[in-house]
Structure 1
Amino acid sequence: MVERPSGTDLTNPSTSRPESPENSDAPDAARRGFLRSVCKLGLAAGAAICLPTLITDTAEAASLSAPRRTLQFVSLHTGEKLKVTYWADGRYLPTALQDVNEMLRDWRTGEQTRMDPKLLDLLFQLRQKLRADQAFQVISGYRSPKTNSMLHASSDGVASKSLHMEGKAIDIDMAGRQLKKIRQAALDLRLGGVGYYPKSSFVHVDTGRVRQW
């Protein structure tokens, strides 16, 4: 279950940590115009789907051999926290995936999507590679078409067809870890795209084709 800060009312306008735009398909672009907006809560109904494990590489199989896969998140925009075991007993857990969808929703509009389970596995492997037990600090998870269009219009660094809109990308940081080491660990995994934004203090990872910028 997503843990919300005491006294937080997500239905009312509030200030939040500025979010920098990101481009998942192009080289690093200059960061422009920090954006502030209203965060609305709009939880989507519907159950998540149990999916079989898809192992395509020996190294990946080894890193995913743990009987339980657990992740921790904290939103730098809403202050919400989530610690969730999303995989156990040989399957993805529907209720846990639903909690992840809620946690990684578009914080501006409250809209959710089904986050790619492979993205969670990527984060799990990244956590293992870093030998870290800290929470992933989330700058941006899912982006609704409306939010992505707004960001795209204000910055050349935001892809018009960002993988954020498909639930296949996330922008992260981790307390006590050097950003460049998070980036290098993600690159070493070779499980998708990796973007490096030291000025905005986050690393972008996605489950698209292997590439870097």
Structure 2
Amino acid sequence: MSSRRKFLQKSLFLTASGLFSTELALTSSKAYAKDAAVAASPDAPGLMEPPPDIFDAQLVDLEFWLKPRVLEVTRPASGESAKLLYWKDGEIQESAYQQLCHLLRDVQGKKTVPIDPKLLETLWGTQAFIARYGIVQPLEILSGYRTPSTNQHLIETGVPAARKSLHLEGRAADIRLAQLDADVLGGLIRSFRQGGVGFYYRPGNRGGWIHTDTGLQRTWKG
């Protein structure tokens, strides 16, 4: 348990160090934040129109990465949801981390593996960043870890899946946010520069998703 905790702490420290130097979107316009909050309300129809300057060239401040990290996720495939404090005072919270690994498990294959802390960092950073604009929503996890058999089944049924997918290593997730445009979500994740970002567009307001992983930096559309 001690060795795992040290590994997780080191991984999160290295990830955060890299993210400190990443150029991310910040805006000083309170009007845009107010508009985003209104658009994200339950009464707002359709997809949210993002603030025009949501990718401002300022740097995210250090305090953003030092505050406690609470990740709220929902898993449509299993009907589960959770809001977990998984990192605090520079340390991973083991119980919450284990719960997140379970939530990102292969639901069909019924198998749970350790999830890359860098992936959790990207998911949390995305959610915490848009919360600055009044958009407070759980991340929908469509796919996390996959067993080889599940991945092969997806390939055989025509679902986009790579034979050497990072999903097989617990280093990738397919996600979406209700009412948030996929281009905005994918663009934000790409700005973290922590790995690959895939844009998967499908008909309908909730038909597509964004793939994020901790592999080489690359972008594609599927």
- TM-score of the pair, normalised by structure 2: 0.69
**Pair 1:136-2:139 in alignment:** yes
8 Å contact kept, 2:66–2:90? no
**2:86 maps to which residue?**
86
Extract structure 1 runs of 4+ deviating beyond 3 A: none
Which letter maps to 1:58?
F
SS in 2 for 1:196: strand
Shift of 1:47: 9.7
Change in Cα spacing, 1:69 to 1:198, as seen in structure 2 (3 Å) is same
**Pair 1:191-2:194 in alignment:** yes
**Where in structure 2 are the equivalents of 1:77-156 lying within 5 Å?**
77-131=77-131, 132-155=135-158
Q: Which has the higher contact order (CA 8 A, sep 6+)?
A: 1
Unaligned runs of 5+ in 1: 1-45
The 2-side partners of 1:172 and 1:121 are apart by 14
SS in 1 for 2:21: helix
- The match for 2:18 among 44, 48, 56 is 56
Unaligned runs of 5+ in 2: 23-60
8 Å contact kept, 1:48–1:97? no
The 2-side partners of 1:181 and 1:204 are apart by 13
**Where in structure 2 are the equivalents of 1:7-18 lying within 5 Å?**
none
Higher-helix-fraction structure? 2
SS in 1 for 2:74: strand
Shift of 1:89: 2.1
The 2-side partners of 1:107 and 1:156 are apart by 16
Change in Cα spacing, 1:57 to 1:66, as seen in structure 2 (3 Å) is closer
**Pair 1:201-2:208 in alignment:** yes
The 1-side partners of 2:3 and 2:75 are apart by 21
Percent of residue pairs identical: 32
CA displacement, residues 73-126 of structure 1 (integer Å, 9 cap, x when unaligned): 111112100111110121111111110111111010210110011101011111
Taking only aligned residues, the RMSD between alpha carbons, in angstroms, comes to: 2.1
8 Å contact kept, 1:47–1:98? no
**Pair 1:73-2:35 in alignment:** no
Report the structure number with the largest CA radius of gyration. Answer: 2
Which letter maps to 1:80?
E
The 2-side partners of 1:104 and 1:115 are apart by 8
8 Å contact kept, 1:187–1:194? yes
